[in-house]
Amino acid sequence: MRSYATSAGPSSSSSNLAPVLLGLGVVSAGAFYYTTLDGSQKVQQVKQAVVAGPPALTNSEFKPLKLVKVTPYNHNTSKFTFELPEGTSSGLTVASALVVKAAKEGEGLAKNGKPAVRPYTPISEPSTQGKLDLLIKHYKGGAMTEHIFGLKEGDDLLFKGPIPKFHYKANQFESITLIAGGSGLTPMWQILQQIANDPNDKTKATLIYSNVTEADILLRKELEAFAAKRPGQINVKFVLDQPPAGWTGAKGYVDQKLLAQTLPGPAFGDRIKIFICGPPGQVAALAGPKDKMEQGPLKGLLADLGYTESQTYKF
């Protein structure tokens, strides 16, 4: 199978937190002070609880967001930063996506002449206020990517979401494996980012990330930083179909041997989960094709290795 490339701590008295939460209605951007037996943990809890306003996006209608910055990432991928209303976050959860379409009538049309609507998974944290970051690969001839790469700073794009995918919960599994190809990294990024930034999440996570060339690897430094931040808990394995001379990582493609060497065995039951996201051909070879919005039966290499449908999830 070729690797195709193309996204609770200790509890204390709730009364310590209540005065702070009661005061949130009048606190905007200012700081607040309080004393608890476990100050650092309460600070984190309060930061997560503070919501200055309703989410900027809704899954019931498209809303325009202004493009404020385009940052080239590599030879065919750029980061697009969109402005959210002041004091608001996207409202997305881990892991979820959103869908976009052109803001101007007659632009961003699919081959059938209708407005193209495409899903994307943001790389900015769901709690981030004021902005939304998308890391997008440019597909020549793709109706939406051609449109997005043609946008200028100040232009609008229509967004709708969140579109829930897999509801990740800390410590739900002992171990997870995330198998991604190309831009299929982004939902895996959401999960890894959540684990790396939550000191109470002890889930062991291994990313198997395949690409054609080394230049195609997305968010490499950030992924390696996650692994360095949580050594022994987060592991990253890069796989290249066309590795350069001197490459010490995995070579070729994600095959049964690599999976057997890397994944916890099927006998671990519901203590493990395997996530798959990539081009349709890669997903089908690993776990069988998705059936539109449904998961579809488990097939491919993971089925051959003895894993079950309940142990896998296809983004």
251 annotated as belonging to a binding site for a ligand = no
Q: What is the DSSP string of the chain?
A: -------------GGGTHHHHHGGGG-SSS------TTHHHHHHHHHHH--SSS-S--SSS-EEEEEEEEEE-SSSEEEEEEEPPTT-B----TTEEEEEEESSTTSSB-TTSSBP-EEE---S-TT-BSEEEEEEE--TT-HHHHHHHT--TT-EEEEEEEEE-----TTS-SEEEEEEEGGGHHHHHHHHHHHHT-TT---EEEEEEEESSGGG--SHHHHHHHHHHSTTTEEEEEEESSPPTT--SEES---HHHHHHHSPPGGGGGGEEEEEES-HHHHHHHH---BTTB-----HHHHHTT--GGGEEE-
- Does 119 carry a binding-site annotation? yes
Question: Residue 135 annotated as binding?
Answer: yes
Return the percentage of the chain with pLDDT > 90, whole number: 82
Q: Is 271 annotated as a binding residue?
A: no
- In this predicted structure, the answer to whether residue 15 has a pLDDT above a threshold of 80 is no
The pLDDT, as a whole number, for residue 37 is 38
pTM over 0.95: no
pLDDT in tens, 28-42: 333 333 333 344 344
What kind of fold does domain 63-164 have according to CATH? Elongation Factor Tu (Ef-tu); domain 3 (2.40.30)
Tell me: is residue 301 an annotated ligand-binding position: no
| Residue extent(s) of CATH 2.40.30.10 domains in the chain | 63-164
Higher pLDDT, 113 or 293: 113
Residue 58 annotated as binding site:
no
pLDDT tens digit string along 196-205?
A: 999 999 999 9
CATH ID of 175-314, from 3.30.950.10, 3.40.50.80, 2.60.120.280, 3.40.50.300: 3.40.50.80
pLDDT reported for residue 99:
98
Q: Where in the chain is the domain with CATH 3.40.50.80?
A: 175-314
